């Protein structure tokens, strides 16, 4: 079935089709219509789930942690400062290895207050142990939510599905809604290896000693460091699992392809622009214009950001002469976080056979600042023709100082 609706509705339909059992909700612009739509599904009887309105975002994630600990499939959504308010619980959910799915409807963070779009909220949480998936349109939103539940439950690690506030959350686009039977055949019920049971009470995630020790049954238990090591290893292994999930999804639904990134006109590109989210589709118009001007340039849109698929991205960029990274976020005091990760992925590309491409970094669109096609064209043209090192400091687009 094809419909035309908002990105928030696309996300809500993905959650419904995934048969989430517990929804924790606290309003914050621009994600509020997502959880409101889920409340409508539940109230009308179209969705069998518990809807838990709470007093804060911190509590919303606490509800999801509790629900997942009992074996329920749980979901919540947030934006901006709401995501930051969850920060303690975000670490907890990852450390507890709970397969939560959370939509982050990207918005700038205060102070000062802004309700408009950038990526600073989710990028600030990249090192919490959660997986992060960035999507570009409404079809990818609904599909990404469904895939996120499967990926999270196979590796037992929570995941954020990130999409641009307003640019996607409130705009209307056509997208395909799969049937419940199709999704049920793809996504099995959540069956954790262990879940809390009132008949067999237990303590979870109590104070852990620095070193390994015997538990109450006399079995050697991991220390804190071993627990963190296993989370890191499973995150790295999740790259391959994501590839398997994507392949199964494409076989079942006929959509998708590369689990790590999406490219446009990169086959013969000498220069490749890189970005997250809907900006990559905006850049396609610029790519086409530069192609008409005789410059071989393409665009890579990174979907899976954490765990970072470094080998796949390096392979996709290694033959380029230059890489130009456009970001709506900043690692303050250095450069864009995505740019740093791209440079690290490309670091092994050296020696007599290959030369590392140059990497330029542009910061733009913070707090919803308008991103003009002419400015993107100028930046890309400068990077592709000058080929000079831009230095360590990122360049800013649209700045008025």
Which is nearest to 213 in space by CA: 225, 204, 203, 221? 221
| Domain segments of the chain as ranges | 2-186, 261-396
- CATH architecture classification, 261-396: 3-Layer(aba) Sandwich (3.40)
CA distance 258 to 260: 6
> Tens of pLDDT along 45-83?
999 999 999 999 999 999 999 999 999 999 999 999 999
Q: What pLDDT score does 351 carry? A: 52
CA distance 74 to 371: 36
- Residue pair 359/343 in contact (Cβ under 8 Å)? The answer is yes
Bridge partners (DSSP) of residue 363 are 327, 396
- Residues of the chain where predicted confidence (pLDDT) is lower than 50: 352
Topology given in CATH for the domain delimited by 2-186: Rossmann fold (3.40.50)
Centre a 10 Å sphere on the Cβ of residue 225 and count the other Cβ atoms it contains: 12
- Residue pair 359/314 in contact (Cβ under 8 Å)? The answer is no
CA distance 260 to 262: 7
Bridge partners (DSSP) of residue 214 are 220
Q: What pLDDT score does 352 carry? A: 41
- Residue pair 83/76 in contact (Cβ under 8 Å)? The answer is no
- Residue pair 283/308 in contact (Cβ under 8 Å)? The answer is no
Length reported for the chain: 401
């Amino acid at each position: 079935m094809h419909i035309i609706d908002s990105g928030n509705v696309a996300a809500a339909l993905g959650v419904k089709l995934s048969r989430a059992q517990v929804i924790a909700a606290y309003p914050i612009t621009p994600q509020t219509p997502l959880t409101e739509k889920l409340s409508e599904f539940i109230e009308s009887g179209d969705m069998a789930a518990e809807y838990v309105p709470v007093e804060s975002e911190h509590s919303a994630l606490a509800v999801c942690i509790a629900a997942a600990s009992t074996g329920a499939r749980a979901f919540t959504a947030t934006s901006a400062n709401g995501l930051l308010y969850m920060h303690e619980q975000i670490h907890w959910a990852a450390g507890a290895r709970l397969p939560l799915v959370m939509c982050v409807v990207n918005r700038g963070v205060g102070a000062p207050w802004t309700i408009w779009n950038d990526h600073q909220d989710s990028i600030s949480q990249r090192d919490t142990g959660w997986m992060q998936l960035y999507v570009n349109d409404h079809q990818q939103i609904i599909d990404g939510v469904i895939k996120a539940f499967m990926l999270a439950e196979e590796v037992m690690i929570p995941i954020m599905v990130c999409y641009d506030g307003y640019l996607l959350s409130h705009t209307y686009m056509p997208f395909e809604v799969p049937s419940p039977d199709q999704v049920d055949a793809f996504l099995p019920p959540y069956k954790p290896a262990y879940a809390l049971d009132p008949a067999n009470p237990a303590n979870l995630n109590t104070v852990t000693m620095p070193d390994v020790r015997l538990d109450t049954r006399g079995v050697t238990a991991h220390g804190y460091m071993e627990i963190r090591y296993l989370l890191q290893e499973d995150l790295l292994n999740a790259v391959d699992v994501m590839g398997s999930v994507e392949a199964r999804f494409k076989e079942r639904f006929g959509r998708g392809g590369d689990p790590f990134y999406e490219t446009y006109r990169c086959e013969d590109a000498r220069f490749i622009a890189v970005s997250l989210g809907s900006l990559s589709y905006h850049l396609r118009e610029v790519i086409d214009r530069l192609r008409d001007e005789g410059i071989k340039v393409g665009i890579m849109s990174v979907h899976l950001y954490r765990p970072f698929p470094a080998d796949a991205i390096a392979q996709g960029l290694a033959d380029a002469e230059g890489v130009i990274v456009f970001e709506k976020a900043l690692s303050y005091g250095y450069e864009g976080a995505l740019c740093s990760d791209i440079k690290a992925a490309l670091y092994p590309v050296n020696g007599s056979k290959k030369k590392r491409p140059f990497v330029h970094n542009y910061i733009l669109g913070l707090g919803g600042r308008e991103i003009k096609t002419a400015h993107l064209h100028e930046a890309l043209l400068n990077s592709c023709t000058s080929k000079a090192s831009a230095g360590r400091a990122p360049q800013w687009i649209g700045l008025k100082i």
